[in-house]
Structure 1
Amino acid sequence: MELDPRFAQSLVDIVAAELNQNVNITDNHGVIIASFSKERISHIHEAAARMLMSGPIREFSVTDEEERRLKGVRQGFNVPIIFGDCCVGVIGVSGEPAIAAPYARLAARFVEAALESNARQEKLVRALREKEELQSTLLNKVISVQEEERKKISRELHDETSQALTSIIVGLRVLSEHVHSDGERQKILDMRDLAVRTLEAVHHLAVQLRPALLDDLGLVAAAQKYVENYSRQYNIQVELSVVNISRERFLPEIEITLYRILQEALTNIAKHAKAAQVQVTLRKYRGKLLLTIKDNGIGFNADILSGAASDTCLGIHGMHERVALLSGNFYIDSTEGEGTGITVEIPLRRRKKTESGLGQAH
């Protein structure tokens, strides 16, 4: 454990102002690291160095004769600074030793108390940081597990359920050609139509869970397909602009995060915004991926994102948490009657090469 010179100097300034005396602090080797007389800093306090090297840690006074004989020493009284069962330095107060002694002891206790307070604060900050890191790790793990489960279910729906429904549709069509009653044929065709609608619903659900395009062709292709389907489903005009990105691939966690934010934001617009137009921009700029989503809807009071009402905005907070896991920034700006804008900035990192050889460094 060592005294920080800047911290020690701030303590010297406080103590010297309170005592109206010259004050200095040495480190645990007797080197002056803080002093009311700035020219003494970095000098050896020979009396303190001798005491520290002798073994026994004790208080000591400096006489007139010692001031003349020893280097970096002034008449006064000096007290060890004890912290964590160790001597981390010496504090000295100038003046007649008998008069300076109580002030030096008081100053040493003040410094020790300040060190203990600072250590407690650092411990609390460290504990808070560890807690936040653990929360981030757990949240990241939860999101990863969710995405893997989404991918698995989506693949099963696409490969197994969709194929089974397709077989049923074909079978019903063949069966309808072998019945002679018009009524029976119509019932079979109605069942076929129901199976077709179910297949479409299953396909839509599979895409919502995890679009194959996202894994196969990347963020841009998946976003373009999602916007196309969204505009057709909700009759909302969405203009997607892609800037400085062609067929580039990015880290999977970056791609899925931006895709989920686009998905969540457009879903919120369809549910709440009453918008007719949406402008989406995906841009690579100065080592970052920027996603902006702006609608011309009714907007809302952004104050509800803080305080008690924030519990109703879990979708927005979920987007914010996803971005924070990637050390990115999330901004939302909304005014009642003037629409809502969302901006996401995610720093790019070096992409590892994939087994397929498609990995690129960006």
Structure 2
Amino acid sequence: MEMQTEFLSEIVDHLPEGMIVMDKNRTIHYLNEKAFDMTGWKLGETVPYCTYCQEREVEENENRCILTTDDPIPFFNSHLAVYEGLEEFEMSLKKMTISEEIYYVLRIRPPVQNENSERARFHELLVQETLLAQEAERKRIAMELHDHIGQSVYSIFLGLEVIKQNISVDKYQNHVTNMVNVMEKTLQDIKRLTKSLRPEIVYDIGLEKSLVQAVKDWKKLYQIEIFLDMDINREHDLDPEKELHLFRIIQESITNSVRHGKANYFSIHLKSNYQYIFFQLYDNGNGFISEGCKTKGLGLKHMYERCKMLDGDIKWISKEGGPTRVEGFVSLIKAEGERI
């Protein structure tokens, strides 16, 4: 048995990926040679949280590490603090119980490109083209609403106003007044739909100012309280197309919260860290069973696909009766030669 143990230890020590065994307090009880070479960590030290988990807002008694949740992400890319700064790793975590004590086996390795990842990238490119086509169609419809239908409705509205001023019979005056009110509401609806379909303001003034304006519109439209908190480092130039995708993620989330969750409070938290922007979206609605939600509903699928397309991820944390928290991260920096 001792020989088998030594043999297994020899195998683990020479694996091509890092293996770390830590307890629930993240104290290191074992790490193989590869893990030591990659991180410089030592026995008895504490494994740091990755840059993503450091930014998470967690509830009382909730584990900060996203890989320890009930429905964990199988593989997760983020940065860990090592002795020479920060390094990006692909990570996975396995929970095990030994003598009634909980331990975690953390596997780390540099992000790799293989056949599966290339296949996944090809899928992401297909999704990307689909979403871009949707945005182009939204832009076309928005322009049609604004330039043609909106202008025609506005002309009718002005004409009715003129007729209203020249009618002396009360019965007809009331009819025309009602028509004017309907046309005015129609103009407001067209304006709202145009802004919803194609928030050109994102391209003109950027994500932050766009969200400030959008929050005002959403408050008025949905009649709910919305809290917005942003801490974004503008040192890097952000790609407008990518900013639009993040805007869509937030827009879809608040729509779901109001229409399906019947929420009357919604909060948006954005914070940048290195090349990533982390987001947490919270509502006090009815909630839902979040397990497997990435494959449920077209809106949730699109939110997930947009995050993956932006080299990020997203997670829904909810239960029946609420509340609901949506958290994730995206990279909005345009790499050299990248097209999105």
- Deviation string 1:156-204 (CA, Å, 9 cap, x unpaired) is 2123322222222111111222233232232222222221111111111
The equivalences for 1:1-362 within 5 A come to 126=115, 128-245=116-233, 250-305=238-293, 310=295, 312-350=296-334
Q: Which has the higher strand share?
A: 2
Identity of matched residues, %: 29
How many residues are paired up? 224
Aligned counterparts of 2:196 and 2:240: Cα–Cα separation in 1: 17
Aligned counterparts of 2:172 and 2:215: Cα–Cα separation in 1: 41
Aligned counterparts of 1:319 and 1:133: Cα–Cα separation in 2: 17
1:169 is matched by which residue type in structure 2? F
Aligned counterparts of 1:245 and 1:165: Cα–Cα separation in 2: 43
2:277 is matched by which residue type in structure 1? L
Aligned counterparts of 2:148 and 2:130: Cα–Cα separation in 1: 26
Q: Give the 3 Å change call, closer, same or farther, for CA 212–350 of structure 1 in structure 2.
A: closer
Aligned counterparts of 2:270 and 2:131: Cα–Cα separation in 1: 23
Unaligned stretches of 5+ residues in structure 1: 1-9, 11-124, 353-362
SS of residue paired to 2:291 = helix
Aligned counterparts of 1:147 and 1:217: Cα–Cα separation in 2: 18
- Deviation string 1:34-64 (CA, Å, 9 cap, x unpaired) is xxxxxxxxxxxxxxxxxxxxxxxxxxxxxxx
- CA RMSD in angstroms, aligned pairs only: 2.5
Q: Give the 3 Å change call, closer, same or farther, for CA 351–251 of structure 1 in structure 2.
A: farther
Q: Are 1:331 and 1:343, in contact at CA under 8 Å, matched by a contact in 2?
A: yes
Q: Are 1:250 and 1:351, in contact at CA under 8 Å, matched by a contact in 2?
A: no
Aligned counterparts of 1:247 and 1:263: Cα–Cα separation in 2: 25
Q: Which has the higher helix share?
A: 1
Q: Are 2:293 and 2:316, in contact at CA under 8 Å, matched by a contact in 1?
A: no
1:271 is matched by which residue type in structure 2? R
Aligned counterparts of 2:160 and 2:234: Cα–Cα separation in 1: 44
Q: Are 1:327 and 1:346, in contact at CA under 8 Å, matched by a contact in 2?
A: yes
1:266 is matched by which residue type in structure 2? I
1:229 is matched by which residue type in structure 2? D
Q: Are 1:244 and 1:283, in contact at CA under 8 Å, matched by a contact in 2?
A: yes
- Give the deviation of 1:129 after TM superposition: 4.4
Unaligned stretches of 5+ residues in structure 2: 1-10, 12-113
Query: TM-score scaled to structure 1, two decimals?
Result: 0.56
